[in-house]
Chain A
């Protein structure tokens, strides 16, 4: 159907206004990060980008955040997903309570979770370890609603009861049923959940900042206090990195899934 002129004019004026709102700050980041700093620079310089790797704490915080993300992902894979399947298969009476538990973080902002969990992390840092990797515990709870959403949609789409019965009849044991039969069929849901895990861990600031852990975002904020150009360069680099990653994932697999942020 040919679009009428009215629709076209409306469409392009909306795209240019909202697009400018979203794109100008991103361009300004690029502009700012290539501004000269120090006395020896004249005109544009990429020095802020070049000295990213030599920033104190930065690389180690990225490594730490990636390890944390990996732990969160394994918690999803080996704890949350199997429990969700188990509840679906065997404990129908727990389905409602389990769902409520999974959606609970929606009602509790991160700043409130921090208030409640501060004593626990104080205990952990005194008696066990001060490593920020322990944050993976609370992070895996923060993403619980998103994991649950993509999981329950996937579990509802596949008749896992029949699958499980068939597998049992053919002699598979319980762990084989969960990890070998059911989990592969809901692969897309699990991948989506894991992707959100990385985004959340790399972007989290509230909890780690208040509990005094040096995660990626906290270190960026710290760099921003001493060297604005570098901090802006790091921020822009990480945005572009994630954007390219998202565009690189084939659309077929993601279709309608990235959009699946409908929460309740």
Chain B
């Protein structure tokens, strides 16, 4: 065991104090973690990042990146991915935000509150196989709503399950897990809205809509936008739902990556998979950077109690 040398007394506030430097052997303590994270996190990251700039024979080249960039199929999938992520992020943020407001306006720690929070934490993780089954049981062939539609409204799109397997169907599925995630992310923000602000507005003769227009919405906008970005990343990265619902490899970028990686007909193309992954990571990093910037703005009022 390495010897800990504590030189100071009392709470240590100066956390970059040079006295820590004295025990160099302390650095040995992070080696086990470095080995595991090196194998399972840094290696795959490096593998994708470097692989994107190589061809299938391991030589440095940007040809695959360019080729993917100019491929109409890849562009179409990427546009689809962006479109569905933006749409479902907005739909999820609005519906989930309203639902969070409805929860906050109820009795704090009442049964409805607890149930909603618990249900949200379950359903936010619900994407994938089980979500697909839920919607197949609802709108798919012989599903609950589909059967009702066949009986009472045979001419609407609901009667024919095929809409479920396209952009519209997938958006409806994605929104289903976006709403609970939004509830989880946005609820703390709404809870931290101080009632005094509303009281002050009322006392000065402000109407309800004036409070929301001039105080509520401006204050909530950064957190709302940040949450929406989070939802965007969430659906942009999603693979399982689309993979189990639609078997079209060209529809979304994650599906295309999976096909390029595992193609059973012998067309496996790891370099293409890595290039596509590279573009995905670029988009995610941009979104997360904006998110971090927005959070910094928000934390000014939210985290100060």
Residues in chain A within 8 A of chain B (CB atoms):
3-4, 6-7, 10-12, 14-15, 17-18, 21-22, 24-29, 31-33, 35, 75, 79-80, 83, 86-87, 89-95, 98, 101, 104-120, 137-138, 140-141, 144, 159, 161-162, 164-165, 168, 173-175, 177, 199-200, 203, 205-206, 209-210, 217, 220-221, 224, 228, 231-232, 235, 238-239, 242-243, 246-247, 251, 256, 258-264
Contact = CB atoms under 8 A, between A and B. Distances in A.
B99 interface: yes
B48 A112 contact: yes
Contacts of A112: 48, 257, 277, 280-281
B216 to A, nearest CB: 13
Chain B, interface SS category: helix
A263 B230 contact: yes
Interface stretch (B7-15, B56-64, B68-76): B7-15
B122 A239 contact: yes
Interface in B226-254: 230, 233, 236-237, 239-240, 243-244, 254
B17 A92 contact: yes
B114 to A, nearest CB: 6
A32 B119 contact: no
A149 to B, nearest CB: 12
Interface string B266-293: 0000100110010011001100100110
B134 A29 contact: yes
User: Which 9 pairs between the two chains have the least Cβ-Cβ distance?
Assistant: A116-B44, A109-B237, A32-B137, A235-B130, A28-B144, A28-B138, A205-B240, A116-B47, A25-B134
A243 B40 CA distance: 31
B240 A209 contact: yes
B237 A79 contact: no
A206 B239 contact: yes
7 contacts: A109-B254, A116-B45, A116-B274, A141-B40, A205-B128, A232-B133, A262-B295
Given A91-B27, A113-B44, A217 B144 contact: no
Contact of B44 (A24, A32, A117, A232): A117
Nearest to B141: A228
B135 interface: yes
Nearest to A109: B237
Chain A, interface SS category: helix
A199 B251 CA distance: 28
B149 interface: no
A228 B133 contact: yes
Given A141-B41, A262-B185, A11 B106 contact: yes
B133 A14 contact: no
A101 B37 contact: yes
Nearest to B199: A1
A13 B225 CA distance: 24
A206 B240 CA distance: 6
B150 interface: no
Most buried by A among B23, B130, B143, B270: B130
A114 B4 contact: no
Contacts of B163: none
Contacts of B128: 203, 205, 217
B218 interface: no
B133 A231 contact: yes
B258 interface: yes
Interface string B164-181: 000000000001100111
B205 interface: no
A33 B237 CA distance: 30
A75 to B, nearest CB: 7
Most buried by B among A11, A28, A235: A28
B150 to A, nearest CB: 15
B188 A111 contact: no
Given A165-B9, A174-B2, A209-B240, A105 B48 contact: no
B6 A175 contact: no
Given A86-B29, A162-B11, A247-B115, A140 B36 contact: yes
A137 B144 contact: no
B122 to A, nearest CB: 5
A224 B137 CA distance: 12
B201 interface: no
Contact of A256 (B175, B188, B295): B188
B95 A18 contact: yes
Given A28-B134, A165-B6, 12 more contacts: A15-B99, A22-B123, A28-B144, A29-B133, A91-B29, A92-B16, A93-B20, A105-B41, A109-B237, A112-B281, A206-B240, A217-B128
A20 B41 CA distance: 40
Contacts of A117: 40, 43-44, 47
Nearest to B177: A22
Contacts of B220: none
A86 B30 contact: yes
Nearest to B109: A251
